[in-house]
Chain A
Amino acid sequence: MAILLDHVNYIYNEDTPMAAHVLKDICLEIPDGQFVGVIGHTGSGKSTLMQHFNGLLRATSGHIYYNGEDIYKDDYDMKKLRSKVGLVFQYPEHQLFEIDVFSDVCFGPRNLGLDKRETELRAYDALRRVGLEDELFYQSPFDLSGGQKRRVAIAGVLAMKPDVLILDEPTAGLDPKGRDEILQQVKKLQTETGMTILLVSHSMEDVAEYVDRILVMNRGSVLFDDTPRNVFAHYRELEEVGLAAPQVTYILNELRNNGLDVDTSAITTKEAADEIMKLF
């Protein structure tokens, strides 16, 4: 079971002079339980692509299959799809609205028609999973710090018990520790529950550290689709499309250019340190 995109095209304002072809013939398979990083410059089509996964946008042509079923079939249950594929938008904390944290997280499951007991169990479980301390549960979400609000918003989606979690730049504007905390919790979710994760990010270092696979979007097409190590080996091409590799990739390449015999494929600080120590 998986998500399958088959020749998906998306054109904004089709049949008008403003038409813009933002997704071009995308074919992808995302198996269950994979942690996928999606990178690309602003306007490369990342967010548009993400909004196809739960049917918020409908492809102009092509098909999307979720667990083998065509989501564009007339009798397909879109509501169910949206509860299975959870989408956390950019700056999700702007969508918090309830009087306290716990009620805010209960909103989603209650809307699914679940009873009070199940709703509250799910909300509690979701808040624990994002690592929010119990004493904050009955505070107004507006009194929390940026990182805490972000986690409440993610919990709101987790409480729907999705099989697939899509996070659109979940760490933008957070301090470094806050970035690490959120990404570690997301990683834990993937390993503990087998949830499929799609992470849109502008931070190459973060992507290198956490994901199994990277999709690089450029002008509406998939430019690279491979493991982080293989993708970042193309760092020159990545720069040409407004991206970059993690800093350590540059260090190792610089060392190599200076005649030192190092393997340049490390993408995290620890791997780079291991590689450099081999010289000594």
Chain B
Amino acid sequence: MKMIKTDKLTYEYIRRDDDGNVEGITTAVDNVSLDVDAGEFIAILGHNGSGKSTLAKHINAILNPTHGTVWVDGKDTSDEANLWDIRQTAGMVFQNPDNQIIGQVVEEDVGFGPENIGIPTRQIWERVEESLRAVGMYEYRKYSPNKLSGGQKQRVSIAGVLAMHPKCIVLDEPTAMLDPNGRKEVIRAVRALNDVEKITVVLITHYMEETIHADRVFVMDRGKIAMEGAPREVFSQVDKLKELRLDVPQVTLLAYELQKRGLQLPNGILTVQELTQELSRILAERERK
């Protein structure tokens, strides 16, 4: 069963002038069909205004398609009867943790969601504990959220979504406001959810190096899917990505630069270790000659 499936999804905004007359129509998502398997980790890249966030908002029915259909865990998101099920199946985490935290104490914040859907108290506490443990924030459960760092707050937001027992989590630029350490903490937590809890992950980001562990990467441009594939396939196309206003991880860029200067390196190197191994291999070969 597909966790997320979109069929010819199109979303149009109607632009109006000051008097409310229609000025024109902007197509934010244009005829997108994609499938995400249960348990998959996918990343969506794309420049500002490429339609990534609009696409993501369809996954938990914040937006409904103008044309086409979206199914989440087999349920059509346009059918209002499915709304609560879908919101519970697919949780969403946004850019700014400060806009997502409402509790005075960390554990209270994480318990807010389950409490709202009438889970018995004992189970709420169980869920709070397991969610906070999953993101490595259990020891902070009695803290006030405003005493936490950005990365910690963002992990609390993720725990809040986890406590709803979703099958799928959509993260829309969860690290945009964080320092390097905070970014690392959040990405580590997200990868653990996917590896250990088998939760389907959709990660939207502008940091290329955060996507190298994804199963598949989608690149959006003008509402369409411009590129799709394993990270290695996508990141071996440096020039095409640059045309789409994107980048590649710095290691990949360095490998690409070295290729241009004549070194026989494979395409799409993604990690420091890979590059080091390849360079050592080339050097060893030269010595043998």
* Contact surface of A with B, Cβ cutoff 8 Å: 40-43, 143, 145-147, 169, 172-179, 202, 204-205, 239, 242-244, 246-248, 250-251, 254-255, 258, 260, 269-270, 272-273, 276-277, 279-280
Contact = CB atoms under 8 A, between A and B. Distances in A.
Contacts, number: 115
Interface of B: 15, 46-49, 95, 149-151, 173, 176-183, 206, 208-209, 242, 245-247, 249-251, 253-254, 257-258, 261, 263, 272-273, 275-276, 279-280, 282-283, 286
A176 B180 contact: no
Contacts of A242: 149, 179-182
Contacts of B282: 280
B149 A175 contact: no
B13 to A, nearest CB: 11
B213 to A, nearest CB: 15
Nearest to A146: B48
A260 B275 CA distance: 13
Contacts of B178: 42, 202
Nearest to A205: B250
A17 to B, nearest CB: 14
A46 B251 CA distance: 29
A60 B96 CA distance: 31
Given A175-B206, A177-B47, A269-B253, A247 B280 contact: no
A41 B280 contact: no
A252 to B, nearest CB: 10
A204 B252 CA distance: 17
A258 B176 CA distance: 34
Contacts of B263: 277, 280
Contact of B95 (A173, A239, A270): A173
B273 A254 contact: yes
A176 B238 CA distance: 13
A19 B149 CA distance: 18
B272 A250 contact: yes
A139 B275 CA distance: 47
| Cβ-closest 6 pairs across A and B | A177-B245, A242-B181, A176-B247, A247-B250, A175-B47, A146-B48
Contacts of B182: 41-42, 242
A280 B180 CA distance: 33
Most B-side CB within 10 Å, residue of A43, A145, A178, A280: A280
Contacts of B208: 176
Given A242-B179, A269-B253, 9 more contacts: A42-B182, A145-B49, A169-B177, A176-B245, A202-B178, A239-B181, A247-B249, A254-B273, A258-B276
A242 B179 CA distance: 7
21 contacts: A42-B149, A43-B149, A172-B176, A174-B48, A175-B47, A176-B246, A179-B206, A202-B178, A204-B180, A242-B181, A247-B209, A247-B254, A248-B250, A251-B251, A251-B272, A251-B276, A258-B280, A269-B254, A273-B258, A279-B279, A280-B286
A103 B249 CA distance: 39
Contacts of B253: 269
B96 to A, nearest CB: 9
Most A-side CB within 10 Å, residue of B150, B250, B275: B250
A146 B173 CA distance: 14
Contacts of A43: 149
Contacts of B151: 42
Given A175-B246, A269-B254, A255 B179 contact: no
A42 B150 contact: yes
